[in-house]
Structure 1
């Protein structure tokens, strides 16, 4: 018997509403304000996401041998090139997309969290 169920994956960030809007534009869903400094992304398929204001937030470094990326999200897409154009237009930054023959590419969201676009 399990001890617990997984709740939302929570991303610390300086602006929860803005970061929730970024992921809503990619994944769909509705941005819902919660308690002060907390925003949920509801109504899309997949693990629930939430965003929490973190004063003094410092984004993870990727890749870095002396600093951990902590975690990353894998987002599956039909067309890597098209999805790449869309996430860049929304404010993502390329971290590693040099090998165009791979089935995945690495980006940072506007708050600096790494995420991958993965061909399904």
Structure 2
């Protein structure tokens, strides 16, 4: 049984030169909504149906995307999303401005993508 620490996970924040644009990408990808209560354009939240949990996007005009897999600029974080299949999800990722950076040839259960700001994320096949 997990020990109670009084610490609760609520947010992953990603740096981007365009917080509203990146928020729109993830809101559309996940079927979540942009939190219109977010003030200004320096910090934008995207929320789903889990109370208290959200993605945040903060203004970083000098953000440099990772150069993965080369590693000249390392990835600082990446997100994993589970999907039933790639064929119905990948076209949506590409249409929203994401790009495929590694297919499943090396790892048969996931594909690596970059969002419009260059942050990496994986689409992982559900193992049902």
- CA distance, structure 1, for counterparts of residue 77 and residue 107 of structure 2: 24
SS class of match (1:80)? coil
Kept after mapping to 2: 8 A contact 1:97/1:106: yes
SS class of match (2:101)? strand
Kept after mapping to 1: 8 A contact 2:15/2:58: yes
**Pair 1:9-2:15 in alignment:** no
Farther off after superposition, 49-58 or 30-39: 30-39
Query: Using a 3 Å threshold, how does the CA distance of structure 1 residues 15 and 44 change in structure 2: closer, same or farther?
Result: farther
Query: Using a 3 Å threshold, how does the CA distance of structure 1 residues 101 and 113 change in structure 2: closer, same or farther?
Result: closer
SS class of match (1:112)? coil
- CA distance, structure 2, for counterparts of residue 5 and residue 119 of structure 1: 28
More helix by percentage? 1
TM-score norm. by structure 1 comes to 0.88
Give ranges in structure 2 of 5+ residues lacking alignment: none
TM-score norm. by structure 2 comes to 0.83
- CA distance, structure 1, for counterparts of residue 88 and residue 17 of structure 2: 28
Give ranges in structure 1 of 5+ residues lacking alignment: none
Farther off after superposition, 18-27 or 93-102: 93-102
Aligned to 1:52, which of 30, 42, 58?
A: 58
Q: How many residues align?
A: 120
- CA distance, structure 2, for counterparts of residue 28 and residue 98 of structure 1: 24
Cα RMSD for the two superposed structures: 2.0
Kept after mapping to 2: 8 A contact 1:27/1:44: no
Farther off after superposition, 97-106 or 85-94: 97-106
Task: Choose 1 or 2 for highest CA Rg.
Answer: 2
**Pair 1:61-2:67 in alignment:** yes
